[in-house]
Amino acid sequence: MIRRVIKRLWGVLPVVFGVLLLTFLLLHLVPGDPVDVMLGESAAVADRAQLRSELGLDQSLPVQFVQYLKHLAHGDFGRSIHSGQAVSSLLAERLPATLKLAILALLIALLVGLPLGIIAALRAREWPDTVATLFSLSLSAMPHFWLGPLLMLLFGLWLGWLPISGMTPASAIILPALTLGFGLSAILTRMTRASLLEVLSEDFVRTARAKGLSESHVILRHALRAALLPVVTVVGLQMGSLLAGTVITETVFGWDGLGRLLVESIEKRDYPVTQACVLVIALTYVLVNLCTDIAYQRLDPRVRLS
């Protein structure tokens, strides 16, 4: 297995290179100049030329990209154009907050989505199934930039139970985590219901019941384990998208994480910081997909890593 994992990691390199290249080109092709942002459009031509030379922006794009790759190969993400702070230190400051938010959101999604999906499948076409379906469809139709302010109004302003912005006190993480977690729980509810309904009609489930096993044993030890394969796929893909989803949620709630850092760096045309944030998000997608493949093999020995 270790050899196959290493082989998969080698296959990731072209994907990472493509992400770096596209991000670099898009950042330099969109309108806006970091020199104008830092000095203003009324700055003298000589001052603008000097700053552009100091930042290395006077070189051609191929030369800048090659220089960036050389520094990246040595683990150097560069320095922020505006603050001069090392990008690696900025990532170290912001990434833990985003990971904490994403993990809590995933836990909320699992605690809400899996039980609702199981109940909906076991009580199909009855009122619990209808309630779970309406719940999941309603949450699926709510984008983060709408659900977040709605939760802020309800629990922050009207009820006054939770803070609506910032990272303090500790309860400030609840609303952004609910915003991210509810969206994922809606997907998990529908996927768990559909997968479990399909498995419950299989022959091995009828055989387990014919052996006299309890219904809870049949559901939890046999049917649910087989039904989790597509659910694991969704969880793996959505875990990667949680980091991308934090871009909006962290901005709405004033959460100082990686997503908010990405937005700030784009606004300031801070190329090194933006490229580093996108790279971290891309690597997270790739690693989560690899972990999903490994989980597949643990759940079903018939599945083999390719």
Show the domains of the chain with their CATH numbers.
Answer: 2-73 (no CATH), 94-299 (1.10.3720.10)
The percentage of the chain sitting over the pLDDT mark of 70, rounded to a whole number, equals 92
Mind listing the pLDDT tens digit for each residue in 239-267? 777 776 678 888 889 888 888 899 888 88
* Mean of pLDDT values over 172-196: 89
pLDDT at 41: 67
Query: Mean pLDDT in the chain?
Result: 83
Query: How far is it, in rounded angstroms, from Cα 270 to Cα 260?
Result: 13
Query: How far is it, in rounded angstroms, from Cα 272 to Cα 90?
Result: 11
Buried b / exposed e along 56-65 (16+ C-beta atoms within 10 A): ebeeeeeebb
pTM reported for the whole predicted model: 0.82
